[in-house]
Chains A and B, each alone.
Chain A
């Protein structure tokens, strides 16, 4: 059944079956409102460190909203209001003392549509390190750009044209550039909002491979519409429906033996 039931019975520490390094992000009783309309209802969810957690569910179920509340991206939207507690390494990210700029440096984001800046490939990747003052010298910055592009699997394709505009790359390359851009800031968590929905199958395969490699160094939360993708890349899966978190469990269990019949219905394609 719902993850919240064992929680209630076993006190405030949520039960996780994962053997990963521990809980990176913990959400408790999260409600999100857009004006009068409530988009998320009382969501409790733990994200484990160095794991890929995928959020699935039909369109409009609130999974992107939840993702965007993890790095306070919802702050940009005037009418949006978040209630409840979300902690990163035990620290409340909605606390007044938290600087949202630092938070987003720790929790990076990759978007649905590739959105490289209209700058050169180099400047795209160097953007984050520059604004956060991560380096003192050009050589250090070169090194960061090099490493980030390599981690994103893009280095070999672009090493000869780092001064060309990032917007001139193909869709898949652009998305990997955006991942490199996020990686360059050395965040602890990377949020991905349907990163492959605008890409062809080959580019998608490359990104999925990349996500799997990134898991060693980062905690990853990915929203996806593709059940296969969730099954391929993630260790844990959370199923959202109509603004409620229906079920969260190890990916393998979710896709073979889900506890909730709505999850069963969704992953077997009966609705959504």
Chain B
């Protein structure tokens, strides 16, 4: 029996428990709902929870631990001479045995008797593990149903128990999100530490040269690799800055028009249309930038006697700016529309014009949301990859000139990890360190923005 089947069985038992609980509650109450403490459905949920929760935990736990436990048992079963090998070889051996148990594919030329024996043993182990799980599951679920059924009485506070359980489930769900974030940060951190064993952190953070080519073989000449992150950070910030220069004014103006000036019908049409901009895949923006915008800028530059390379920070930044307009406009529009009408009337009532009202009442009151939308757009710009890969190039130039090709942190992460790489070379590990830096930059931006917002916000009630 596989896990999906077992989950199905548990679901059926839970459903059965629900109906059992409902009818049992009605029976104990003599068919009168008002004799019950809670509505009959809550007694159903009560039994359902008693059945589903232990069974679910068992299944999850089994899924998580089964492989480890079975491997341990398999290793213990194997003859000593087979297991007395380095870790990597042992895991290869275990893989072979598992493959052999599933089918007849191994990495070895000769399959000896010991291996066949081990495979048979492993196959048996798996089958009995599943049987044991199925038996345990049914016993646990039915046991839960029976215990809960025994407790059902008109005075049982089923609603309170069910609501407590529901709250616990919600807490668990929110914890999962937090723990995932934490896990990602920790993995970034530990891999970065491994990188910093090979490259000094100061050289990485303050280095001005980026050329991550390392020698593949010991006898290759040169190419020890230079891991200075400054050119990448500068490129990222330059492109994001250009993008924000496009998105912030356009987005804010669009938001002000939509929330303050546009008739309801126009707003209802324009807003979804603008939001479509955010739905276009970034790869489409990428070739739009590379094939249309970048050559246009280059030709336009020629007219004015400027040298604009055909892969420029300007082209990537402008297209990225267009992409993030809806983040600014849509969110800012929402917060501005949420400013109470009474504040607008108060201002108009004093003889303020529309623009005075917007500048002095609406925008200050909506400031936290507006800054939030700008920040979201900036994070999007900093993390954007596809457009930059296509339109800004790969050359790690340290420059503030938007007409030159630059590269960004995200682009370099991509190029570091594309292709066949050892996972413990400085080159691949650098990707984690870059990720960490990117994370820190966004974090600092967030903190700065939050501080600004808290200082200048004008809170309406």
Contact = CB atoms under 8 A, between A and B. Distances in A.
Nearest to B341: A76
Interface in B323-346: 340, 342-346
Contacts of B340: 115
Contacts of B458: 117-119, 165
Nearest to B359: A131
Interface string A78-121: 10000000000000000000000111111011110101111100
A178 interface: yes
Interface stretch (B13-21, B348-356, B381-389): B348-356
Interface string A104-144: 11101111010111110000000110011000000000000
Contacts of A106: 351
A49 to B, nearest CB: 20
A104 B344 contact: no
Contacts of A128: 350-352
Contact of A73 (B264, B345, B364): B345
B342 A111 contact: yes
A115 B350 CA distance: 12
A181 interface: yes
A65 B346 CA distance: 16
Interface string B131-171: 00000000000000000000000000000000000000000
Interface in B442-458: 458
A100 to B, nearest CB: 8
A167 interface: yes
A109 B352 CA distance: 12
Nearest to B365: A118
B423 interface: no
Given A115-B342, A118-B458, A165-B458, A73 B348 contact: yes
B307 to A, nearest CB: 49
A72 to B, nearest CB: 9
A132 B460 contact: no
B349 A73 contact: yes
B461 interface: yes
Interface string B221-263: 0000000000000000000000000000000000000000001
A182 interface: yes
A31 interface: no
A173 interface: no
B461 A76 contact: no
Nearest to B350: A128
A194 to B, nearest CB: 13
B23 interface: no
B351 A119 contact: no
A105 B342 contact: no
Max chain B Cβ within 10 angstroms of own Cβ: one of A101, A113, A132, A178: A101
A183 B347 CA distance: 13
B350 to A, nearest CB: 4
Contacts of A101: 351-353
A182 B459 contact: no
Max chain A Cβ within 10 angstroms of own Cβ: one of B342, B343, B349: B349
B346 A178 contact: yes
B360 interface: yes
Q: How large is the interface on A (under 10, 10 to 19, 20 to 34, 35 or more residues)?
A: 20 to 34
Contact of A104 (B264, B343, B350, B460): B350
A88 B346 CA distance: 21
B459 A71 contact: no
A131 B360 contact: yes
B361 interface: yes
Nearest to A167: B461
A22 B347 CA distance: 30
A104 B348 contact: yes
B459 A167 contact: yes
A185 interface: yes
A127 B349 contact: no
A180 to B, nearest CB: 11
A167 B353 contact: no
Contact of A105 (B264, B350, B459, B460): B350
Contacts of B264: 78
Contacts of B364: 118-119
Contacts of B342: 111, 113, 115
Interface string B419-461: 0000000000000000000000000000000000000001111
Interface string A178-199: 1001100100000000000000
B348 A76 contact: yes
Contacts of A102: 351
Contacts of A127: 347, 350, 352, 360
Contact of B346 (A71, A105, A117, A185): A117
B345 A118 contact: no
Contacts of B353: 101, 131
B350 A131 contact: yes
A116 B342 CA distance: 9
Contacts of A103: 351
A46 B458 CA distance: 41
Nearest to B342: A115
A102 B351 CA distance: 6
Contacts of A119: 364, 458
A93 to B, nearest CB: 13
B349 A131 contact: no
Contacts of B365: 117-118
A83 B340 CA distance: 29
Given A71-B349, A78-B263, A119-B458, 11 more contacts: A73-B349, A76-B345, A115-B342, A116-B346, A119-B364, A127-B360, A131-B360, A165-B458, A167-B460, A181-B346, A185-B350
14 contacts: A73-B345, A78-B264, A105-B351, A108-B349, A111-B342, A111-B346, A113-B342, A115-B343, A117-B343, A117-B347, A117-B365, A118-B458, A128-B352, A181-B346
Interface of B: 263-264, 340, 342-353, 356, 360-361, 364-365, 458-461
Top 10 nearest A-B pairs (CB, nearest first) are A105-B351, A118-B458, A109-B349, A104-B351, A115-B342, A128-B350, A115-B346, A118-B460, A131-B356, A131-B352
